Amino acid sequence: MSLLEPLVIGPCRLENNLILAPMAGVTDLPFRNLCRRLGAGMAVSEMVHASPRLRGSGKSRQRLDHTGELAPVVVQILGNEPSAMAEAARYNVARGAQIIDINMGCPAKKVCRKAAGSALLADEALVGRILTAVVAAVEAPVTLKIRTGTDPDRRNALRIARIAEQCGIALLTIHGRTRADRFDGAAEYDTIAEVCAASSLPVIANGDITSAQKAEAVLRHTGAAGVMIGRAAQGNPWIFREIAAWLSDGETMAPPTAEERRAVLLGHLEALYRFYGVVQGVRIARKHIGWYLAGLPGGGEMVRQVNRIDDHHRQFAQVAAFLGDY
């Protein structure tokens, strides 16, 4: 039986159960749409803070721009105050969000110092109040992303899942590390399997899913409804179609040809220039170029050269010439 299946979240029916993870500074609109076109069933936005004070910043305005976004539009909100989170959900639904995702998984120190993200897992009563408030605030489905707990001695994902069920959460994503783990060590999937076995919620497995074969192994081990891909998609948006082919019929897809790699990267650069403007677009593009060219012969030196270029025409031409030779 195929492990690649449609996924239903409220009124939204996804083509498949492969999801692009929200990553700050990475999953902007150009990258979300690119991953969708290359096989992701859904792509989650960078996190948007619930504080109204931050909505006027340039960064927030860009994160709230869904012009031309492939449906469903999923906005992840971050905060620790139930009424503010509820208001943020309403604000984003009014601006086009079709699904609201709540961030209780981010381990970044600057987030956790403000008792948000994965720090919330230590206060289960507050978790319940936030989830209740957000679900009541909007008609759009509300999903939740968590870690397995605050640290390896205090894994409480199963209790959080039960709270999420009671509060009306539509889907739960679990990263297989604790807050204390950050991104160190290997993700563990036994906790995710425990939640899948005990919860009525569809559960998405996240963490260290770097290949089609790993995606299959995680789905079989956990019984999850789907997988979420994060860092493995950086510079490799083709991973979604590779996983889709493997899960549907065991087909191993050939890696992208040099011509396709060139077309996708150059198209991505053009989308970044349009979205951010050429000055900011050049800066944002540098990290993506580094990820795309990693491992290619001469890629490291090319990245060093590109990082010294401030003009978008020169940046584009330099990358195009390099890939033309490659």
Closest residue by Cα to residue 177 from 204, 209, 201, 152: 152
Q: What is the dihedral of CA 270, 274, 276, 281, to 10 degrees?
A: 30
Check 106, 112, 167, 196 and give the catalytic one: 106
Residue 42 tokens read as 């859904």
Report how far residue 112's alpha carbon sits from residue 173's, in angstroms, rounded to the nearest whole number.
19
Q: How many CB atoms lie within 10 A of CB 3?
A: 18
Report how far residue 37's alpha carbon sits from residue 6's, in angstroms, rounded to the nearest whole number.
16
Active site includes 106? yes
Tokens 């090319």, residue? 302
Tokens 């509820």, residue? 86
Report how far residue 272's alpha carbon sits from residue 287's, in angstroms, rounded to the nearest whole number.
12
Cβ distance 59 to 65 under 8 Å? no
Cα→Cα distances 80→84, 117, 266, 322, Å? 8, 8, 40, 47
Q: Which residues contact 139 (CB under 8 A, 6 or more apart)?
A: 93
The 3-state DSSP composition of the chain as helix, strand, coil percent (nearest 5) reads 50, 15, 35
Annotated catalytic residues are 106
